[in-house]
Chains A and B, each alone.
Chain A
Amino acid sequence: MIRLDKVVKRYRTRAGHHTVLDGVTLEVNRGDKVGILGRNGAGKSTLIRVISGAELPNAGRVTRQMSVSWPLAFGGAFQGSLTGLDNVRFICRVYGTDFQVAIPFIEEFSELGKFLREPVKTYSSGMRARLAFAISMAIEFDCFLIDEVIAVGDARFHEKCQRELFEKRRDRAMIIVSHEAHNIREHCTRACVLRDARLQEFAAIDAAYTEYNRQ
């Protein structure tokens, strides 16, 4: 279970404090698929980072009783001068996963072949995304955080990702943030709308969608 209890997140700006999350409460249980709809700049990514623990709230409480991923397919943490494999080893060490087990899977899934032994800075953005997604799948989490359902690689690879995540890991909890309702409609069982720093929860996706479109 993950519980956010009256979470407040503020940033300091030149024009004073800007409150991004103002008393957000949310509970996600094992296997839940929760969608969060919000417009650009509504604070979706901030919410994801607070849930993942990458950022601490200014007030309120985050309780995590299951393992939570970093935002999925996030490739920003790669060190460009290191090879793909060195980056894999680092992330495996950070999460306490045996990289001897993870590497064959990543080699197979990312389809990067010999390029895994080349520095990441020589990769194209598609290759990076493939590596990032493969690493996310090599480490087991109870809950996946998905910041926009990303299209990784070509159609065939994209389909492979969808299968790996939404079919093989059907039993896991997922939190998907998106500004596009169809992503959420496709994968989630309940939905929330993030607006004006507040999170409003709806039992039915359609109700959330209606609220999201009401402006």
Chain B
Amino acid sequence: MSEIVQAGGFMRSLAIQSRIVGALVMREIITRYGRHNIGFMWVFVEPMMFTAGVLVLWSLFRTHTTQLALIPFTVTGYSTVLLWRNAISRCGNAVEPNRSLLHHRNVRVIDLFAARLILETAGTSISFLALSALLTMAGLMPLPDDILKMLVAWILLTWFASSMGLVIGSLSTLSESVDRVWHVFSYLFLPASGAFFMVDWLPRRFQDAALYIPTVNGIELLRDGYFGAQVHAQYDLVYLVSFNMVLTLIGLLLVKHISATVEGE
């Protein structure tokens, strides 16, 4: 057994960790977006542009054939895709470029992940909020039915993205191929993620299977909150929460494992 003994308890550790993660977030913002033009606002403007772009494309091609309004359906779907895709892919390369920061004792591998997850999930969350607000003000999107349900759904999806980020991020540190395979997988997974369909529209025999996909449950809840009685949403929150808990545990164990082996350069 090895341990590092330092004076002070949990609160002190928490204060140090918040300070470190805060410093990393600031550093990340300046590194990625710089101080020119709109600077850090790119954090949410970029995903917003993405969703808006997809919205325009889908409207033009009129591929949408359901009774649900296209705009809210796309916004609720595509925002969640950005939430998990961005957060997880940013974790894939979180450790390697920041290895030298580990020379500072209080900077730990988990902080590198935490900083990126906070920045990325905050960015997609703000973009979802801002885009919805803009579209609502423009009269293109009615107000949601139950905003609390949407909030719960968003939190659960953020939790999923974060714990998956820890898993993929740690595994990528152990082997670069994981990062590459993940990019392919996440692309192929897109149609199955639940962003572009409601479980109710699927043939009966696929419905149960679809509910094994964690993101599907989250998006169903999000749309239940938005559309209310207009949709027949299906989800299993106990399953989603349990899935997240197990994934978080695996993620934290993996981070612990790589923390012991990753060295500063």
Contact = CB atoms under 8 A, between A and B. Distances in A.
A52 B5 contact: no
Interface of B: 1-7, 16, 19-20, 22-23, 26-27, 30-31, 100-107, 259-261, 263-265
Contacts of A122: none
Contacts of A59: 1-2
A149 interface: no
B2 A82 contact: no
Interface of A: 8, 12, 49, 52-65, 68, 70-71, 74, 76-77, 79, 81-82, 86, 89-91, 93-96
The interface residues of chain A, by DSSP majority, are classed as mixed
Given A70-B104, A70-B105, A94-B106, A61 B5 contact: yes
A137 B113 CA distance: 29
A60 B26 contact: no
B31 A81 contact: yes
6 contacts: A53-B106, A59-B2, A63-B6, A70-B104, A77-B100, A94-B104
Nearest to B27: A90
Given A74-B103, A76-B100, A56 B260 contact: yes
Contacts of B4: 53, 56, 61-62, 64
Given A64-B5, A77-B101, A90-B26, 18 more contacts: A49-B263, A56-B2, A56-B259, A57-B2, A61-B4, A63-B5, A63-B6, A74-B103, A76-B103, A76-B264, A77-B104, A82-B30, A89-B26, A93-B19, A93-B22, A94-B20, A96-B16, A96-B19
Contacts of A76: 100, 103, 264-265
